[in-house]
Chain A
Amino acid sequence: MNSEDLIASLAQDLPPVPRHALGRRLGLGILVGGLVTFAAVGGWLGFRPDLMLAMHGFTFWLKWAYTISLAVCATAAASRLARPDGRAGGWLWLMALPVLGLALIAAMELAATPSAQWLAMWLGASWTICSRNVFLLALPIFAGLLWSYRRLAPTQLALAGTTAGMAAGAWGATLYCLHCPETSALFVLTWYTLGMLGAALVGRVLGPRLLRW
């Protein structure tokens, strides 16, 4: 096809692009994926029975502060990377802050606990399944983000994939908190983070394949 004809056909029937179309598209992908994950937490794992009570306690909010702050940073970076000339900027580095903060709290927890109980605190009751659950719960959100990216224009595909995986992992972990009754900071720091990193790794591997345009 001649380039002039191509231009004529592209310019025909041009719908206006709403402001913040990119943000909406990403938000929609995360929201739809998040609803699937939410349904999976409710239907498959079950909400923790003491959820209402737990929401009045410190640890529940500590866990949410950790996962939500990571999710916000990763989502902001993912939306930057959705533009062809976008750089993740400081958002990825900023993710070190919640990790360091939680590590500090974990260290204080350890200091306040007799060393005989350290192992039990670290492994909790669900260390064998926690990372796997976080990882699995991330997948619907990751799929939602891939759908969002299909109309966007990432150019650093590996980084965009990793970041999308990390965002999906952190949002998935946020919803997993509605099920998981574990309370120690060391537990969350280890097993939640591991699950999120698994999702980020999948994004790293799939990004260059699935995000091409």
Chain B
Amino acid sequence: MRMRHDDDRLRALMLAGLAGDSAAHAALLRALLTPLRSFFRRRLGGRDDDVEDLVQEVLIAVHQRRATYDPERPFGAWVYAIARYKLVDRYRRSGRTTPLDDLPELADEFAFDEASDARSDVDRLLDTIPEKQAAVLRATRIDGLSTAEAAERLGIGESDVKVSAHRGLKALAARVKDGWR
């Protein structure tokens, strides 16, 4: 149900953007950042520059080719098809011969449902550790910022970010273990 909800929200932004509302368009593109980053990160494994490259390619395609969105259909499926195409195109260009069928198919259009379920669990856990550590983890592990970007956003030093992330993860691990006992 949450997926429907999310899809409706994004779809509404998309329709407003198609009508010329640039604030809605910017909000839409921003809302796509996190799901796109996690989509590509899961498939590229760690190469962050490539991930951000692909995310930007998809954003540009969503912008330039927005006329190909059919308002009668789910928005997530449309973005997912673009993201998948860009990923396959990247494989092809880099000479990797991964057949299309080898890519794990995301059955739920873009897995919004899954992502938001997991999100609320993570939120609950992050509430149990110190605020700064939680903020650093949110910035680096969830929003996918680099150490430097996270430091800039939170207004603290880069080493502080690293230390807080380390401590935060440790604290989280301890909480999870406690929870299992």
Contacts and interface: CB of A to CB of B under 8 A. Distances in A.
A, B: real partners: yes
Interface of A: 1, 3-4, 6-8, 10-17, 21-22, 25, 82-85, 151-153, 155, 212-213
Interface in B38-72: 52, 55-56, 59-61, 63-70
Interface of B: 17-23, 25-26, 29-30, 33, 52, 55-56, 59-61, 63-70, 73, 77-78, 80-82, 84-85, 89
Given A4-B30, A83-B69, 6 more contacts: A6-B59, A7-B30, A10-B63, A11-B29, A14-B20, A84-B65
A12 B23 CA distance: 9
Contact of A3 (B22, B25, B52, B67): B52
Q: Is the interface of A mostly helix, strand, loop or mixed?
A: loop
B59 A153 contact: no
11 contacts: A6-B56, A8-B26, A11-B23, A84-B81, A85-B78, A85-B80, A152-B65, A152-B67, A152-B68, A155-B81, A213-B65
B110 to A, nearest CB: 11
A163 B8 CA distance: 33
A85 B22 contact: no
Nearest to A24: B67
> Which 10 pairs from chain A and chain B are nearest by CB?
A16-B20, A11-B26, A84-B81, A85-B81, A21-B67, A14-B22, A153-B65, A155-B85, A7-B29, A153-B68
A7 B32 CA distance: 11
B21 A14 contact: yes
A58 B30 CA distance: 60
A151 B67 CA distance: 9
